[in-house]
Amino acid sequence: LPPGQLAYKDLNGRVGAHVEIITRNGTVRRGTLLAYSAYLSTMKLDPDQGGFVLTVPGDSVEAVHAIASESIAAGSPAVAAPTP
């Protein structure tokens, strides 16, 4: 995996962490991880992403990034999304 990128299964144990999930269809979702399973993850999106709770099927996840705390305050992700 590229630096800063996590495997989907690495979300296990990161409930409460701020993450960015990129889906196979190219959507980027950023927020706080509320729940994880091998099949689904639930996150509360950041306010600039709508602020609602969203469930993402595990098999639709292309990439996952952990977002550093200082980036949350600055309002930008710590890692850039990969260029298609």
Q: pLDDT tens for residues 51-73?
A: 999 999 999 999 999 987 655 44
Is residue 80 within 8 Å of residue 65, measured between CB atoms?
no
For residue range 6-18, list pLDDT tens digits in order.
Answer: 999 999 999 999 9
Q: Exposed, middle or buried by CB within 10 Å (0-12, 13-18, 19+), for 82?
A: exposed
* Confidence (pTM): 0.77
On whether the CB atoms of residues 30 and 19 are closer than 8 A, the answer is yes
- The sign of the dihedral angle between the CA atoms of 31, 52, 43, 32 is positive
